[in-house]
């Protein structure tokens, strides 16, 4: 019989149990991708500590719903600003709306992203370019649109990246290239803007339960195993392979954001904070290897068609 552990991981906690509730009173957050997923949870956490927020995304209806819900959850103001991060003029309008409403921008989360599974041989030029435009150019456009205001506030940037490019990850050439560029851009911002009072850091989430990416992975795990796999909990047979014995929680990422924006991180800039429960150190390809690259048809149901 294989050895097992009874440890099931230390649960994630809400940031309000650790940080002062008035930590960000008077501050304003500008968040791209804030209408859903990890970035919405990050926005909620920042607002719970007193900040007002503007959330940016392409889906106006989703943004409107999210902003109403965030206001009810936090008691702070949150306004939706529909914009495509690939369009500098639209981001400029979103920033102008923010300044007209709140008069300042202290914190920026660059979180708009796009991803899917595809081998290079089946990845169209348009598909590759689309991810680069959303992730890399979208980050650059967001920084350009907000920089003068973040300088004035002596504020801070957080860029949401990934760990996929730390080693060759099959079917992820597009996002690996895009996120590697985001990491490099953040480091340059930290160096160039540090003397202006601006900090810039990267958060690189690992496997986070309850997100679209992990739901897709869980479906793949279920297909390849007779055991049930729940993306929000640790499976009984440790099949997730995460050293801290649980999947990540969106609050884990939000707590890191609260810290990085707080005065406690005033000497932290140009850093990449990996939040993955040490899973990167034991990571293996998500798809069967080398089967997935020798016979892409075998995993076709997990691959998004050409864009």
Strand partners of residue 53: 29, 78
- Residue 215 has a pLDDT of 66
- Residue 230 has a pLDDT of 47
Please, are residues 26 and 264 in contact by the beta-carbon 8 Å criterion?
Answer: no
> Residue 216 pLDDT > 90, yes or no?
no
Among residues of the chain, what percentage have pLDDT more than 70?
87
Ramachandran region, residue 245 (left: φ > 0; alpha: ψ -120 to 50; beta: rest): left
What confidence category does residue 172 fall into, taking pLDDT thresholds of 50, 70 and 90? very high
State the pairing for strand pair 28-32/52-57: parallel
Residue of 144, 161, 147, 160 whose CA lies nearest to 198: 147
Residue of 213, 101, 91, 102 whose CA lies nearest to 147: 91
- Residue 301 has a pLDDT of 67
Would you state the structure tokens that stand for residue 18, as one six-digit string?
Answer: 């650790």
pLDDT in tens, 43-88: 999 999 999 999 999 999 999 999 999 999 999 999 999 999 999 9
Which residues are CB-contacts of 307 (< 8 A; sequence separation ≥ 6)?
124, 126, 127, 130
- Mean pLDDT in the chain? 89
What confidence category does residue 235 fall into, taking pLDDT thresholds of 50, 70 and 90? very low
What confidence category does residue 213 fall into, taking pLDDT thresholds of 50, 70 and 90? low
pLDDT in tens, 96-136: 999 999 999 999 999 999 888 889 998 999 999 999 999 99
> Cis bond leading into 183, ω under 30°?
no
Residue of 65, 54, 56 whose CA lies nearest to 29: 54
- Residue 297 has a pLDDT of 83
Distance from chain centroid for Cα 157: 13
Domains of the chain: 16-211+249-286 (3.40.50.720)
Distance from chain centroid for Cα 187: 17
């Amino acid at each position: 019989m294989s050895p097992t552990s009874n440890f099931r991981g230390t649960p994630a906690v809400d940031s309000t149990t650790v940080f002062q509730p008035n930590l960000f009173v008077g501050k304003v957050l500008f968040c791209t991708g804030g209408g859903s997923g990890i970035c919405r949870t990050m926005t909620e956490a920042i607002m719970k500590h007193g900040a007002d927020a503007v959330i940016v995304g392409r889906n106006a209806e989703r943004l409107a719903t999210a902003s109403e819900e965030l206001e009810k959850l936090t008691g702070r103001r949150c306004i939706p600003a529909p914009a495509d991060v690939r369009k500098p003029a639209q981001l400029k309008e979103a920033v102008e709306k923010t300044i007209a409403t709140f008069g300042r921008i202290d914190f920026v989360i660059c979180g708009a992203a796009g991803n899917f599974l595809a081998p290079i041989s089946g990845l169209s030029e348009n598909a590759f370019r689309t991810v680069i435009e959303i992730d890399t150019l979208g980050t650059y456009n967001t920084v350009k649109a907000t920089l003068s205001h973040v300088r004035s506030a002596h504020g801070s940037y957080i860029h949401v990246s990934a760990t996929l490019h730390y080693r060759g990850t099959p079917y992820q050439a597009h996002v690996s290239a895009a996120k590697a560029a985001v990491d490099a851009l953040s480091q340059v911002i930290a160096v160039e803007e540090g003397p202006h009072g601006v900090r810039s850091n990267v958060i690189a989430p690992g496997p986070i339960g309850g997100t679209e990416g992990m739901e897709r992975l869980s479906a793949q795990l279920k297909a390849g195993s007779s055991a049930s796999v729940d993306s929000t909990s640790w499976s009984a047979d440790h099949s997730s392979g995460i050293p801290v014995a649980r999947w990540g929680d969106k609050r884990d990422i939000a707590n890191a954001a609260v810290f990085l924006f707080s005065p406690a991180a005033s000497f932290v800039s140009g850093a990449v904070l990996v939040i993955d429960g040490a899973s990167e150190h034991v990571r293996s390809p998500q798809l069967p290897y080398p089967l997935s690259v020798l016979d892409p048809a075998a995993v076709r149901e997990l691959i998004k068609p050409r864009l």
